[in-house]
Structure 1
Amino acid sequence: MARYGIKPEGRVATFLPPEVRQHEIHRLPYEHAARQRVSYETEPGEFTALCPFSGLPDSGSVHIEYVPGEWLLELKSLKYYLMSWRHIGAAQEDITAFMYEDLARHLAPFDQLVVTTDYTVRGGIHTVCRVDSREQASGEAAASDDATAASS
C-alpha cells in the first residue's frame, strides 16, 4: 500500500507480492502452417486475486486470445498459473499487465496476443482491463527479445 502512496482504511488482510506468482507455464509446439486464433476463458468468478489496499478478494474472469507462432500454452500449467494469483495482492490493472508479460514471454514469437481481465463489480464499478499486442509500441519484438535474453 505504501507503494501506491495511499493509507488504507480499516483492517487490512495480509497478502503476497506479485513476484511470488508461478512463473513457469509449459508450452507445446505449434507445427501447422494454418494460422488459427486460440482462445481460453475462465468462468466468471473463477479467477481471484487480492486487493492491495484491503486484502479482500477481487474475482472475475480472464480471457486469453492469441495467434500462435511456434508455441501453444499447455492448459494444465496455465490453470495453475492462474490459480497462483489467488493469494497475491496487486491492482487489477497491474495483474493484467503482468499476465500479458508472462504469456508473451512463453509464447514468443507470436502473431498476436490479447489478455483481458473482467472483474466482478465492486463499489458500483465494473473494471475490464485489456492488453493487446497490436497496441504496444514495440509489439512482439520486445517479447522475442525478452525470450532470447532469458534463454541466454
Structure 2
Amino acid sequence: MSELDDLPKTGAPYEGLTQLGHPTIAPASPDQAVLERVPSPHQGKDYVVRFVAPEFTSLCPLTGQPDFAHIVIDYIPSEFLVESKSLKLFLGSFRNHGAFHEACTMTIADRLVRLLSPRWLRIGAYWYPRGGIPIDVFWQTAAPPAGAWVPDQGVPPYRGRG
C-alpha cells in the first residue's frame, strides 16, 4: 500500500481518467494513444507548463532505423492541463512509429492543441543527426500572451548534443 492509495481516483476533477493510478499497457502507435486532461487549477492566469522529453524516439518511415530527439513542449493552459502519464505514454507510442521528424513533431503539437485548446503552445523538437544533419522542428500557436514569462528552451545548437 502506498500513499497514492489514499488519493481520490474518482470524482471531479479526476472523473474519466483511465490511465492514472494503475498499470497501463503502452499504446502501440500514436493513433492508439489516449491523451487525457484535467482542469487547470489556476484558470485565468498565464503560467507556463513545460514538458521535456530528452529521449524521444521514433522510426524512419523508409529505413526503419531509429531516430532520436530532445523535445520541449511549453504551453499556457486555458481550462485544461494534459495529464502527464497520458502524455508520457503518448510520446512513448512513437517508439515503433514510422514518420519523418516534421510529421512526428506536428502530430504531437496538433493532438495537444485539439485536447487542450491552450492559450498558447510551443514545441521545439531537436532531432539528433542522421546522415550528418540534425533537423530541428519548431512551431507555436501564436505569439505568447503579453506579460507571460516564457523561458528559453535551453537546448543549444547542435555541437555533438548531449
- The one-letter amino acid paired with 1:121 is P
Checking the alignment, whether the CA contact within 8 Å between 1:21 and 1:88 is kept in structure 2 is no
Distance 2:30 2:46 in 1: 34
Residue 95 of structure 1 deviates from its aligned partner by 0.9
Which of 92, 106, 113 lines up with 2:121 in the alignment? Answer: 113
Distance 2:87 2:30 in 1: 16
Number of equivalent positions: 115
Q: Which residue does the alignment assign to 1:59?
A: 68
Q: Which residue does the alignment assign to 1:37?
A: 48
Distance 2:47 2:129 in 1: 33
Larger % of helix: which? 1
Checking the alignment, whether the CA contact within 8 Å between 1:37 and 1:65 is kept in structure 2 is yes
Consecutive unaligned residues in structure 1, runs of 5 or more = 1-17, 136-152
Consecutive unaligned residues in structure 2, runs of 5 or more = 1-27, 144-162
Q: Which residue does the alignment assign to 1:142?
A: none
Runs of 4+ in 1 over 2 A off after TM superposition: 18-23
Checking the alignment, whether the CA contact within 8 Å between 1:23 and 1:102 is kept in structure 2 is no
Alignment of 1:132 onto 2:150: no
CA deviation vs aligned residue, 1:73-127 (integer Å, no higher than 9, x gap): 111111000000000100101111111110101111x210112211111111011
Which of 51, 69, 72 lines up with 2:81 in the alignment? Answer: 72
Task: Tell me the TM-score normalised to structure 2 length.
Answer: 0.66
**3-state SS in 2 of match to 1:124:** coil
Distance 2:79 2:132 in 1: 42
**3-state SS in 1 of match to 2:85:** helix
Checking the alignment, whether the CA contact within 8 Å between 2:70 and 2:125 is kept in structure 1 is yes
C-alpha root-mean-square deviation of aligned residues, in Å?
A: 1.8
Distance 1:22 1:42 in 2: 20
**3-state SS in 1 of match to 2:94:** coil
Distance 1:116 1:61 in 2: 8
User: In the superposition, relative to structure 1, how do residues 42 and 19 fare at CA in structure 2: closer, same or farther (>3 Å)?
Assistant: closer
Distance 2:123 2:31 in 1: 17
Residue 23 of structure 1 deviates from its aligned partner by 3.9
